[in-house]
Amino acid sequence: MTHYQKFSSVERVLSFLAGLANLLVGLGFFFLPELQLPLWPTSIPTILDRFIGAIILGNAAGAFLLATEKEWGRVRPLALVAVVYGTLVAGALLYHLFWLGASSTFWLYFLVDAPFLLVYYGLFIYHDLIPRFTSQRENISRYTQK
């Protein structure tokens, strides 16, 4: 197994920390009607609080599962879900902040989302793109040497 195929201990720790952050935020949203925490600058219907909390708790479960894996191939599908989800959330937050005049409080959510998203982008660059381009370069050099 090459180093690109391994999911390192540092990556597993980062995944665990992402799971922990998602767990806390997910529980906060899921129990928001009972806790009355100021997690969102506008009112949210109770059922939507629970729906948002459930999605984030699902992300937490996925991140905790990733923290137990040592092979990138087994991590990749859940990491892809995290990238898509994180990108959509970041895009929606920026849209609301710049074009719809959302409360500046939403910058806090963007600043929490962005580091996780950058880590997952980094994982895909390191584990998928670099090996792909490296192998293509090797194939081209083999072909041109013949």
Is pLDDT above 90 for 27?
Answer: yes
> What is the C-alpha to C-alpha distance for residues 63 and 20, in angstroms, rounded to an integer?
8
Q: Where are the domains of the chain?
A: 3-145
pLDDT confidence band for 68 (50 / 70 / 90): very high
> At 79, is the pLDDT very low, low, confident or very high (cuts 50, 70, 90)?
confident
Q: What is the pTM of this model?
A: 0.78
Confidence (pLDDT) at 132: 86
Which amino acid type is present at position 114?
A
Structure confidence at residue 24 as a pLDDT band (50, 70, 90): very high
Please report which confidence band the pLDDT of residue 142 belongs to, taking 50, 70 and 90 as the band edges: low
Q: What's residue 140's pLDDT? A: 60
Tokens encoding 15: 């995944």
Neighbours of 117 (CB within 10 A): 17
What distance in Å separates the CA atoms of residue 107 and residue 104, rounded to the nearest whole number? 6
> In a 3-state reduction of DSSP, which class is residue 12?
helix
**Residue in 95, 141, 89, 128 with CA at minimum distance from that of residue 112:** 89
Other C-beta atoms within 10 Å of 54: how many? 13
Token pair, residue 44, equals 């949210």
What residues contact 80, with CB distance under 8 A and at least 6 apart? 124
Contact 120, 79 (CB under 8 A): yes
Dihedral sign, CA of 15, 26, 51, 85?
Answer: negative
